[in-house]
Chain A
Amino acid sequence: MMITLLLFAELAERLNTKEMQIDASGKTLKEVKEMVKEKHAGIEHVIDQSMVAVNEEYAEDTEVLKDGDVIAFIPPVSGG
């Protein structure tokens, strides 16, 4: 099951991409965070600080992903 992961700001820069497809069948958001942290060393602290949105709404770490979901890692925001 593939989901789309969107990256922004510092995370997009560090990973050198704004978007990736990942296989996250039945995984929770917390598990996805762990997966990405394992694959990309050096960005753990940014991921730990990030909120996660599923289909453009903030979601809890315990949320389980469905096929076709678009999730976004949202580093601490700083608009205004």
Chain B
Amino acid sequence: MENLYEITRDPISIEAIVKKVEHPHAGAINTFIGTVRELTHGKRTIYLAYEAYESMAIKKLAQIGEEIKKKWPDTRVAITHRIGQLEISEIAVVIAVSTPHRNDSYEASRYAIERIKEIVPIWKKEHWEDGEKWMGDQLEKVAYPTGKPPKGDE
């Protein structure tokens, strides 16, 4: 059984991730590709450094996959996130979702990336010409008041 949820230090092959969700019952495969952006609010990024709590991150990616399968039956999900130093335009994350019908594949893909930004213990450090900073404020909101992220069904 191949690993549907992975953290890697190597460049991600989009095709390899798509292959994992191919299925005769699928009528749609949606891929989301997250890339390193040069400009954020006018500030120029030189490169990004990603770090993960790897064992837990893989568990949480798998949890997202399970949440998706509950919400959109007969869905297949594969997610790979890269860590380490990434240059501008390099791929940080690839999400592939296959579903019987196309609408579900769009929705499930969107759900996956939003959940990654809520619950998966991966961090990025922005490196600018004039400094560096660990990013992260859980979906650009404040820290969770209960100290833990919301459950998938909330």
Contact surface of A with B, Cβ cutoff 8 Å:
6, 8-10, 13, 29, 48-53, 56, 58-61, 72, 74-80
Contact = CB atoms under 8 A, between A and B. Distances in A.
Contacts of A53: 53, 56, 121
A8 B117 contact: no
Given A6-B53, A9-B134, A72-B56, A79 B144 contact: no
Contacts of A72: 53, 56, 121
Given A6-B53, A8-B51, A79 B147 contact: no
Contacts of A6: 53
Contacts of B144: 51
Contacts of B137: 49, 76, 78
Given A74-B53, A79-B124, 8 more contacts: A9-B123, A50-B143, A51-B147, A51-B149, A75-B136, A78-B137, A79-B123, A80-B117
B77 to A, nearest CB: 15
Contact of B55 (A51, A56, A76, A78): A56
Contact of B143 (A10, A48, A59, A80): A48
Contacts of B55: 56
Interface in B116-145: 116-125, 134-138, 143-144
Nearest to A6: B53
Interface residues of B, number: 34
Given A56-B56, A80-B34, A80-B93, A10 B134 contact: yes
B103 interface: no
Nearest to B48: A78
Contacts of B117: 77-80
A52 to B, nearest CB: 6
A78 to B, nearest CB: 3
A77 B143 contact: no
Given A60-B147, A75-B136, A76-B143, A9 B125 contact: yes
A60 to B, nearest CB: 6
30 contacts: A8-B53, A8-B121, A8-B123, A29-B147, A51-B148, A51-B149, A52-B147, A53-B53, A53-B121, A56-B53, A60-B146, A60-B147, A72-B56, A74-B53, A76-B136, A76-B138, A76-B143, A77-B118, A77-B123, A77-B136, A77-B138, A78-B117, A78-B124, A78-B137, A79-B117, A79-B120, A79-B123, A79-B124, A80-B117, A80-B122
